[in-house]
Amino acid sequence: MKTLCLLLGLALLAIGQLDSLSVERRWLASGVLVIYALVLIRALRGSGMNGTASAGPRDYWVAYATETGTARQLAQETRKRLHRAGFSANLVALNQLASVEPPEKALLLVVSTTGNGDVPKTGLGWDDEGVSARYADRAFAVLALGDRSYPRFCAFGLEVMQRMQAAGARPLFAPVQVSQADPRMIDVWFRQLLPEQG
């Protein structure tokens, strides 16, 4: 953001130098500056819409770790239901959790396990900076996704749960473990999260 503002300032200074250029070069320079301004505007708008640290206080953050997109879809559905219930909620990838302030009410974690207990891409390194310690004495819940045909069913989701509890975070309820996006277990998640809606 600071870099963009500095570049805009330099561009404005350059406008003052246009008098020394020929008419053709003035038009060319003006066109380049207009394009630059449009790029800046788009970048500034985009930085305010990504739902990360620039957002104000949230009732909930819904963090997801996904490989195929299922966890992200369920995180989006969780956010929608929270909004319908009158709460503010935003999404964040689990490995981007360090970039947001802890929420007012709870951190909701929708976490997939891939293969035989592996971490999905958006979960890699999520606690490298000790993010879990920022949630000491704060509420959280885990929706763990996996496949019962693997021996380490929901291993990564359960590991996230353990790390959060070890850091002193308070679970709202036991982790909800879902095999192959079983709608009955997903319904358990929503009924525990928003009992008055179920």
Mean predicted confidence (pLDDT) in 179-186: 93
Residue 112, strand partner residues: 145
Cβ–Cβ under 8 Å, residues 167 and 131: no
Name the DSSP class of 119.
P
Q: What is the pLDDT of residue 1?
A: 47
> What's the pLDDT tens digit per position in 68-111?
999 999 999 999 999 999 999 999 999 999 999 999 999 999 99
Task: Enter the tokens of residue 24.
Answer: 């053709």
pTM, rounded to two decimals:
0.71
CA dist 85 to 3, 49, 193, Å? Answer: 40, 22, 11
Closest CA to 109 of 78, 68, 137: 78
Main-chain dihedrals φ then ψ at residue 144, nearest 5 degrees? -100, 125
